[in-house]
A and B are shown apart, each in its own frame.
Chain A
């Protein structure tokens, strides 16, 4: 019995020590920032959806770098592993910790409304990072977003004009992200709008394949889509995250070939992350609408700081207009995204 009691107490002591450890770290941060200037110290909760894409990793790193650069910000973080219910609980825990602001990469644009309401009631500013709240369900203090629809529209418009110049026409498969994600909906709408407006006789979207932002779902949809529509010679990727299943599916049907080769399938993509950059460099991708992960992360921290200080923002939605990278301008702009 004594041994068992000892085990229980050891676990409890470990917890207590860990708790004390956390507090000590906070003190160090405070002291460090105190050396630089007599700025007030703030704590910001960062609610992360997942870190399984290069965009999110770069975005999150930028948040950490910016906080370190400013010196008076302590970040507390939580990752939801794409579970909306868990994310809401984590944000409630941020509120319990009395954080000064919350930066949120939402797992679900509708379910996050409950956490936004909680933050509003607690008087804690919440900034949506890259993914908006579904319109009309809640009112976040700020949203740092890519101008998804416009970027997708401009990219498709460029591709159609390029195809007209070359006298080509395409039958297109459009991959669609998770429709609970406002970004996915806006990108789909932007591509579709440009095709409706300019694409007659040049680009025909013959199939939309839902992916739920999941490689397995995307691959299964691509395989059946390519089997039932063997004449598909163009693809729209709503994120560079989806290059892997696209490459696998096209390789299986012998169509993974760079621009200029006989079996080439023309692809345009979105994000402008490392994979997208590589696909542009290797000649598999015609255009990539690059959003700046780092800029958006930094803007979130700066916006949080402004809101904490009670400053008003010019508008609730802060849009990153992005950069259209094409096979024509890639060499010029490859170092700027």
Chain B
């Protein structure tokens, strides 16, 4: 039973050990440090998405929250009247998280109150957010599309000078949201809604309120991820999140959370994040020619997904 629930942990460990044994420089302190640093923001945003996927939904807007937060954050820190003041960093953090929460509120209302499919609602807000990011970038960045020169105090959040800080932030978020899912009534209600929302409603679960909250959580955590990504790259980039969705949703699904909802969890997403980031890291370290990297990465991800499926089926048969 433990192996069935944690198969991706097992796969990750096998790969990690192989990396330690066979991949030159993989075990170096510098590489392990960077590997964990790269896992951190992906874990944060994927944790939020996990809540939505457990409900059988999807949140495309996470990527545009990352981009929009990046643009507005960089502007506030470098070019606005706030720049250089002691309040610049804390206020910027609050504003970026606020942007994520605002998107979450809009998504949550659209899905829970207006009964829009999450696919449609969040695709719309994703497009709006991506458009706003580029638009604000063109207005705010005085002729350039990206903006660097972020203050060191903000860049520390991305690990500059304090590599452990993004890892600590991601760990705290993981622990809190894993606990919420596993140990609270709210968490159990999310699983109940994911399995069958009608039954959950009949049982007295506040379905609309909970669905609304799921999107607020997802948006808020995407805002936190935006802060880490922007700090890590030391620049506001309007297209920062554009190519990230595959990794975000890939971490959730490969980790073992069922896209149809009701099965999985934040713990599984952690495995997915560790595995996907590990594969990229190992392939880069092996110096494999770039056109093979995507092929190998795709094949390994398929293999991991198949393993996951096999173990699930074995579990189902065992229970039958």
Which A residues are within 8 Å of any B CB, using their own CB? 1, 4, 7-9, 11-12, 15-16, 18-20, 22-23, 26, 48, 76-79, 81-86, 88-90, 92-98, 108-111, 113-114, 117, 122, 134, 136-138, 178-181, 185, 210, 212
Contacts and interface: CB of A to CB of B under 8 A. Distances in A.
Contact of A111 (B17, B234, B286): B234
A48 B38 CA distance: 20
B310 A114 contact: no
Nearest to A94: B284
A11 B18 CA distance: 10
Query: Chain B interface secondary structure, helix, strand, loop or mixed?
Result: helix
A18 B144 contact: no
A181 B237 CA distance: 12
Closest 4 CB pairs of A and B: A110-B148, A180-B145, A76-B287, A96-B31
B287 A97 contact: yes
Contacts of A78: 284, 290, 293
B34 A110 contact: no
Given A22-B286, A96-B30, A110-B146, 18 more contacts: A8-B10, A11-B11, A12-B15, A18-B288, A19-B22, A77-B290, A78-B290, A79-B291, A83-B243, A93-B284, A97-B24, A98-B25, A110-B144, A110-B234, A110-B235, A111-B234, A114-B235, A136-B149
Contacts, number: 164
B14 interface: yes
Nearest to A84: B237
Given A137-B149, A185-B144, A93 B34 contact: yes
Contacts of A98: 25
The residue in A1, A82, A108, A178 that gathers the most chain B C-beta atoms within 10 A of its C-beta is A108
Given A22-B288, A77-B289, A113 B234 contact: yes
Interface of B: 10-11, 14-15, 17-19, 21-26, 28, 30-31, 34, 38, 138, 141, 143-149, 155, 158, 160, 229, 232-237, 239-240, 242-244, 280-282, 284-291, 293, 296, 300, 303-304, 306-307, 310-311, 314
A19 B281 CA distance: 12
A9 B15 CA distance: 10
A181 B144 CA distance: 8
B21 A16 contact: yes
B159 to A, nearest CB: 10
Query: Chain A interface secondary structure, helix, strand, loop or mixed?
Result: helix
A118 B199 CA distance: 54
Nearest to B145: A180
B146 A88 contact: no
Given A22-B287, A178-B145, A8 B307 contact: yes
B23 A19 contact: yes
Contact of A110 (B38, B147, B160, B303): B147
B11 A8 contact: yes
Contacts of A16: 18, 21-22
A11 B235 contact: no
A1 B314 contact: yes
Contacts of A77: 287, 289-290
A137 B304 CA distance: 41
A144 B78 CA distance: 28
B230 to A, nearest CB: 9
Contact of B281 (A4, A93, A210): A93
A16 B15 CA distance: 9
Given A11-B300, A110-B147, A137-B234, A81 B286 contact: no
B285 A113 contact: no
B165 to A, nearest CB: 15
The residue in A48, A79, A97, A185 that gathers the most chain B C-beta atoms within 10 A of its C-beta is A97
5 contacts: A84-B239, A110-B148, A110-B237, A114-B158, A210-B138
Contact of B243 (A81, A111, A114): A81
Nearest to A182: B144
A180 B22 contact: no
A15 to B, nearest CB: 5
Contacts of A7: 303, 306-307, 310
A108 B25 contact: no
Nearest to B290: A79
Nearest to A181: B145
